[in-house]
Structure 1
């Protein structure tokens, strides 16, 4: 089995999880076994997986030890149970799919939260003592069973967590202690696994045990979250095959990739390269930078994190002054630069629009919204949120801006080009410099230079012939990243790792 290992799969994809989804689908198309594996507890993992077509291909460390890696869904009529069997009085909350629960004596004992107003999918139940202090929370898996119980003490700090299988048997216990006013994990107990109990002092130790236990001869772990689980991966047994996948830049300062400190995300594989069988990067330039800085690295394979699917593009349907931005709302993406460019374009292009697709930091998003409001750009800048499939948006857009100060690859850039959407980007490591040919399918301008960015966008919008040329070239050059081409790279890597097992 090929395992793509991360920390958490949310209902909204970051670049890393998007890359994992793409990779699983590519492997499935090729007939290679693959699953996404996550180490954090997540009672919605299977619900989220279904959103992205990954049913049966995702599970967590907790699922594994709880014995619930399947997708089976069960349901219970909780309202009927509480009213008919327990004789509780229920107070339905008007503004949320929630219920306050009173016992037969009228005491307020619990508060239940559901996923929707049909009151079928129970999310959690909070329990209270006689002083109305929350003392316990039951968390229900999206598949319908009680999955976890948290015991709480003063100020709702966690005292212990218990994890169950579908039959209600305890499979994992975690205990905590207050240290300097902080809740600190003290011990993890794995109950009745392989006919005995196991004890761990740290999450890292627990994770390594999981990787070693799950592993079978011929399996490969592709570590996509090196900052969070890199050390647990590095600590696995010598016979376990582990590849570190680089999704972003490895040096903090892109102006000094050979000398600046390393990012914490890649400190483990780059300081302990002997513990990894392979490094995988998305661009040739990053491979060159790594080899120029470090000795004794494992073999490095260049495999893009994304690939294009065949699409039919009608360039006549594009709105010539519609710009798209696809990025998280986080400081390194510098989305404000895009809005500032639009603010300068409005006078000359009254119909210019910037559609922003992304999510992230609330303070960062609020800063963007405040700027839009202050400059009266509500009819020109639109916050569209997270959208799973942007095909129809790319079909209408005529330009994409990338204003990050760094990018490992930039899936959004490749997707845009595949729909005939040219990209004007800062000239940054690594993806944009490899995907964009300046003056051919877009433009590369000096990093963080908003004036140059504005000038390039303005020139593009003023010249219909240039737009047509860039769009045609975008479609042509994106074909370098077909599914077949990417599949060949993965096939070469898997064959090389298979040869290692045969030695």
Structure 2
């Protein structure tokens, strides 16, 4: 069996739904004994640090790592402070408000500025270099594993002129050159140095990505394209023998009220306009498959596989705080988190102990709007911004309800996670996940989309009735069991067997 690659653009220190789905899938494949790696196309000197945080050590690398001959997790340490002071005879000026150092050479000239990850000065992040006019002319970027990974050369206004990428031995592996066009810095050429005994030239990142996918690929491998908006075209352009599955993480049509006629989202334009270039589509709900087939002919086979699965958990209903509500969503317009706050605002008079705990991150202006609303409406004792938390088990254990107020969801991992901890969900009736995960009046409620009033009425009825709460909680646990790891594994097993070509070569 070949390698299964889950391909995205980046892995940050905070996970969005897509990266969360990738982390879940890697764990599922690893448990099943199927080889799996996460693959990312953007340059990211912190990727191995982030991978460790989410348990992906040794199972994750970028296009740049590959060509820089550094796909491993090995960390090298160097005492930079001692080196600069004793070997270089530099004078160091320690900045008091940050783990940064101003560097003066042995003649007292200010030559560089170094930034470290922590106040212990162990992990060097970057060093800026200055010319004799104190203009910044160069930046060295260090990988979180400790080696010099990239040098940027800067010209006036600190515009990037060129970027050089190194392997661990300091040899140049990639060169990127830029030009200013209409006041914008534009990539003009990528040179891949001394790869397979020659140099290779590319005019754009997309072309470079396709070359990478073709080069990495070996017979039996599968690519699962998780970020179709970023890398869909590079994947579509791969050689014919390269097997690619497009994974849909979100709705594909812009207007959920008109899924058959409204324009497509840019994220899914490539697979849906060039379906012949993909071997398979994976969606997370039966309704999305139905919508796709009603609108398009000539699609590749479509598998319905939920993006998440539940882990067996023991839940003590006695621990639940009856008026504690949880909200798990990015702070972005389509999640409409303000609606949740407005519902709580209307509940306060009747339920003085009602609390809404929001777990999420996102655009600063969006979060600021929500915080301002909470402040101006005196809700500081009822609405709490808790930030991004990697493991919400302890929070779900205490919560009695979750609200979902998005205008659309691809699957809604947060809904499944809540139900698996006996937290019923009251959601807008939206495509796709909530309609499939929530049975109205059984483990929660579906209310008319964007109707804050209906949402408030249902939440109020639920909080008023301890018997209803207990029934919904028990049903949540029961119905979430449809999404066990074993059930999800069987669905992936079927897809992998089909892709392997014959039923006889069943993977087990």
Q: TM-score range by the shorter chain?
A: over 0.9
CA shift, 1:132, in A, is 1.2
Structure 2 residue corresponding to 1:49, chosen from 29, 32, 51: 51
Which residue of structure 1 aligns with residue 152 of structure 2? 150
Structure 1 stretch displaced more, 122-131 or 475-484:
122-131
Deviations 1:403-458 (A, max 9, x none): 00000000000000000000000000000000000000000000000001111111
Structure 2 residue corresponding to 1:216, chosen from 199, 215, 218: 218
Structure 1 stretch displaced more, 260-269 or 124-133:
124-133
CA shift, 1:501, in A, is 12
Q: Secondary structure at the match of 1:493?
A: helix
1:259-338 matched pairs, under 5 angstroms: 259-338=261-340
Distance 2:192 2:103 in 1: 33
1:112-151 matched pairs, under 5 angstroms: 112-151=114-153
Q: Secondary structure at the match of 2:93?
A: strand
Structure 2 residue corresponding to 1:107, chosen from 106, 109, 131: 109
Distance 1:385 1:421 in 2: 20
Deviations 1:70-112 (A, max 9, x none): 0100010000011001111111111111111111121111110
Structure 2 residue corresponding to 1:470, chosen from 466, 469, 472: 472
Q: Are the aligned partners of 1:88 and 1:103 in contact in 2 as well (CA < 8 Å)?
A: yes
Structure 1 residue corresponding to 2:20, chosen from 3, 18, 21: 18
Structure 1 residue corresponding to 2:64, chosen from 51, 55, 62: 62
1:21-100 matched pairs, under 5 angstroms: 21-100=23-102
Q: Secondary structure at the match of 2:176?
A: strand
Unaligned runs of 5+ in 2: none
Q: Secondary structure at the match of 2:461?
A: helix
Distance 2:134 2:408 in 1: 49
Distance 1:382 1:74 in 2: 41
Q: Secondary structure at the match of 2:257?
A: coil
Deviations 1:349-408 (A, max 9, x none): 111100000001000000000000001111111111000000000000000000000000
CA shift, 1:27, in A, is 0.1
Q: Secondary structure at the match of 1:255?
A: helix
Which residue of structure 2 aligns with residue 392 of structure 1? 394
Q: Are the aligned partners of 1:7 and 1:40 in contact in 2 as well (CA < 8 Å)?
A: yes
Q: Are the aligned partners of 2:497 and 2:503 in contact in 1 as well (CA < 8 Å)?
A: no
Distance 1:140 1:484 in 2: 41
1:98-497 matched pairs, under 5 angstroms: 98-497=100-499
Distance 1:215 1:462 in 2: 58
Distance 1:260 1:268, change over 3 A: same
Deviations 1:182-237 (A, max 9, x none): 00000000000000000000000000000000000000000000000000000000
Deviations 1:254-280 (A, max 9, x none): 000000000000000000000000000
Runs (4+) off by over 4 Å? 500-503
Distance 2:178 2:349 in 1: 59
Distance 1:339 1:111 in 2: 44
CA shift, 1:120, in A, is 0.4
CA shift, 1:500, in A, is 6.7
Distance 1:315 1:502 in 2: 46
Distance 1:344 1:109 in 2: 59
Distance 1:500 1:376 in 2: 63
Q: Secondary structure at the match of 1:151?
A: strand
Q: TM-score, normalised by structure 2?
A: 0.98
Q: Are the aligned partners of 1:324 and 1:397 in contact in 2 as well (CA < 8 Å)?
A: yes
Q: TM-score, normalised by structure 1?
A: 0.99
Q: Are the aligned partners of 1:218 and 1:501 in contact in 2 as well (CA < 8 Å)?
A: no
CA shift, 1:133, in A, is 1.1
Distance 1:15 1:75 in 2: 34
Distance 2:333 2:462 in 1: 27
Q: Secondary structure at the match of 1:429?
A: coil
Distance 1:163 1:379 in 2: 50
Distance 1:30 1:502, change over 3 A: closer
Q: Are the aligned partners of 2:115 and 2:127 in contact in 1 as well (CA < 8 Å)?
A: yes
CA shift, 1:502, in A, is 10
Unaligned runs of 5+ in 1: none
Q: Secondary structure at the match of 1:238?
A: coil
Paired residue total: 503
Q: Are the aligned partners of 1:190 and 1:198 in contact in 2 as well (CA < 8 Å)?
A: yes
Distance 1:7 1:73 in 2: 23
Q: Are the aligned partners of 1:112 and 1:125 in contact in 2 as well (CA < 8 Å)?
A: yes
Distance 1:178 1:314 in 2: 61
Q: Are the aligned partners of 2:443 and 2:472 in contact in 1 as well (CA < 8 Å)?
A: yes
CA shift, 1:129, in A, is 1.0
